[in-house]
A and B are shown apart, each in its own frame.
Chain A
Amino acid sequence: MNADLEQNFIKLLSENQNLIHKVCRIYTSDVDNHNDLFQEITIQLWKAYPKFRGESKFTTWAYRVALNTAITIFRKNSKIQITDDYEKHSFVIAQEEYNNEEEEQLKLMYQAIHQLNDIEKALIFMYLEDKDYQEISETLGISEVNARVKMNRIKTKLKKILNP
């Protein structure tokens, strides 16, 4: 593959890397796994890049590859264990803007999300990203109606985890 293509790709990825970080944030719970998944997504994006024709936006295309990598082809399974180290290292919660109660709620919420299965995580991720149900259903390959039903079930599930 030629050097120009590589340079272009690195530039695009570098500018849009937060997108990948966000997927890693949902699917991994420590720094090592975060970095491993980031690397795997980067490799998969790069491998698929020559076929990227720019018909869709780079980010839309990258979302799909990143989610597919996390759900389907990334081989390592991250253990459910959120270390304080991870919170500090890779994702800084802007604590000063929340009161204590909200801060606690947020922490519990992130922990609850890490207890969901991979598919549920994908739905929550796209919900947080403000994706509409059409895009969610196309990305996952399920019907729009069922994506909606599932989303409501996940909300109920999260409620149960938070208030057992």
Chain B
Amino acid sequence: MKELDLLKKDWKKNETNFQQISSQEIYKMLHGNSSSVVKWILIISLLEFAFWLSISFLFSNDAYIKTIQKENLVLFFDVLNYINYAVILIFIYFFYKNYKKISVVSSTRQLMSDILKTRKTVNYYVLYNISLFTIGFIGGILMISLSTSILNNAFKTTESSLLFVLVCLGMLLFCVTILWLFYKLLYGFLLKKLHTNYSELKKIDFD
């Protein structure tokens, strides 16, 4: 291809024709801000861990359970809590491990796959929390229904109980959809380029 040969000739000829950047400017750059996608993934992931952790503290139902005065139930929720903390720790461990593996010196494909793996860990963590949230939501409603008479009215007829269940499910679906959209938007924006390039690179080996 003669155009490519011409380009190569020109490329060689011009490889020293760039405006040179001074040592002072390089020094300033070293202390400047990075806009790397890895940095943003780290920040957002840590915020996510913090967010869901604080949710589990803020909306802890311990106090409420104690008022019911059912020891078995208290024990059950205590155990559930400890399991939850253990699971969170495991997630944080895997996240940290994956994050440490990210190296800009790896091959492009390895680097991309490592970044995506880190993201996947956090996605699973979010999914885990949404499931927990769903279970908590349903459990909470059941608990209230069982221990108070407020909902007795709602379950008087088949229609009203159906309506009640539908409203609850609707609320739940709404919350989960909002969360899901939020993540889609956030990471769609952040990882679009990475995903595109990764599939482009994979295609080369599979075509």
Q: Using CB atoms and an 8 Å cutoff, list the residues of chain A in contact with chain B.
A: 6, 9-11, 13-14, 17-18, 21-22, 25, 36, 38-40, 42-44, 46-48, 51, 61, 64-65, 67-69, 71-77, 89-94, 97-98, 102, 105-106, 108-110, 113, 117-120, 122, 127-128, 138-143, 146-147, 149-150, 155, 158-159, 162
B149: Cβ under 8 A from any A Cβ: no
Q: Which residue of A lies closest to B38 (CB)?
A: A73
Question: Which chain B residues have a beta carbon within 8 Å of chain A's beta carbons?
Answer: 1, 3-4, 6-8, 10-11, 13-23, 26-27, 29-30, 32, 34-38, 40, 103-112, 115, 190, 193-194, 196-197, 200-201, 204-205, 207
Whether the Cβ atoms of A18 and B108 lie closer than 8 Å is no
Cα–Cα distance between A150 and B190 once the two chains are bound (Å): 28
Q: Are A72 and B115 interface neighbours, CB within 8 A?
A: yes
Contact B26 A42 (CB under 8 A): yes
CA A42 – CA B14 in complex, angstroms? 21
Specify the main secondary structure of chain B where it touches its partner: helix
Q: Quick check: B30 and A6 within 8 Å, CB to CB?
A: yes
* B34 and A40 contacting across the interface, CB-CB below 8 Å: yes
Question: Are A48 and B37 neighbours in the complex by a CB distance under 8 Å?
Answer: no
CB-CB under 8 A from B201, the residues of chain A are 119, 140-142
